[in-house]
């Protein structure tokens, strides 16, 4: 189902009938379930500030995108994800709010959610055997951010610096913004997501997003229900 250059990420993405999915897809200009463009809000410049996030689709990363290791298949990963989901019960996601995340705008939870962190940890720990090792170029690019000792350890062990104890939930809405841009874009995003983000909702599944090759958009290839 996927080629050698493809990547798969394990994500949280609201269901297609959830107002948050509709709002997020509209804000970014793309529906990742259908792989189709969506008309964006009539806000000057929104196409440009959301361009990078648009390619990834509206989501929160649980296990970062990975190429499959030699000998591993899409169906093997899908089976392992189902087996993991058999042990995890659905849970309530707290209200979300627009937040400044190191210069980016993102939706983040407004209170701690231990089941959410446990879900992300399980995705990393239980599915890491399907991950191909990153290239030296990829490792070098990650290290340019200036990693802490713990983040470096996560990069060396899991191919990504922000997993397990360094993981944080976020649904990216923009590229990195300047201070002046923040003063206009944050209020715009807060107004746009005011109704959809503050409602509480159940996390009932995890999604496998696939990217056919470098630079290609991610699409939601499978939803796996939590059945614990």
| Phi/psi at 104 (5° precision) | -90, 155
Q: Which residues of the chain have pLDDT under 70?
A: 1
CA dihedral 219, 221, 225, 228 (to 10 degrees): -100
* Cα torsion 97, 207, 32, 22: sign: negative
Q: Model-level pTM? A: 0.94
C-alpha to C-alpha distance for 100 and 114, rounded to whole angstroms: 22
Provide the pLDDT for residue 80: 98
Provide the pLDDT for residue 70: 93
CA dihedral 128, 131, 137, 142 (to 10 degrees): -30
């Amino acid at each position: 189902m996927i080629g050698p250059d493809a990547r798969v990420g394990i994500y949280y993405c609201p269901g297609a009938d959830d107002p948050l999915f509709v709002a997020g897809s509209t804000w970014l200009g793309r529906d990742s379930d259908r792989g189709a463009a969506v008309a964006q809000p009539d806000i000057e410049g929104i196409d440009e500030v959301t361009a990078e996030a648009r390619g990834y689709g509206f989501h929160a990363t649980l296990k970062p995108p990975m190429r499959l290791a030699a000998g591993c298949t899409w169906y093997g990963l899908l089976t392992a994800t189902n087996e993991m989901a058999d042990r995890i019960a659905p849970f309530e996601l707290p209200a979300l709010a627009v937040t400044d995340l190191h210069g980016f705008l993102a939706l983040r939870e407004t209170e701690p959610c231990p089941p959410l962190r446990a879900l992300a940890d399980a995705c990393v720990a239980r599915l890491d055997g399907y991950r191909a090792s990153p290239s030296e170029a990829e490792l070098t690019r990650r290290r340019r951010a200036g990693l802490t000792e713990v983040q470096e350890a996560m990069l060396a062990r899991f191919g990504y610096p922000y997993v397990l104890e360094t993981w944080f939930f976020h649904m990216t809405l923009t590229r990195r913004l300047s201070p002046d841009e923040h003063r206009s874009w944050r209020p715009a995003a807060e107004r746009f997501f005011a109704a959809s983000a503050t409602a509480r909702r159940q996390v009932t599944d995890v999604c496998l997003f696939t990217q056919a090759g470098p630079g290609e958009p991610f699409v939601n290839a499978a939803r796996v229900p939590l059945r614990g």
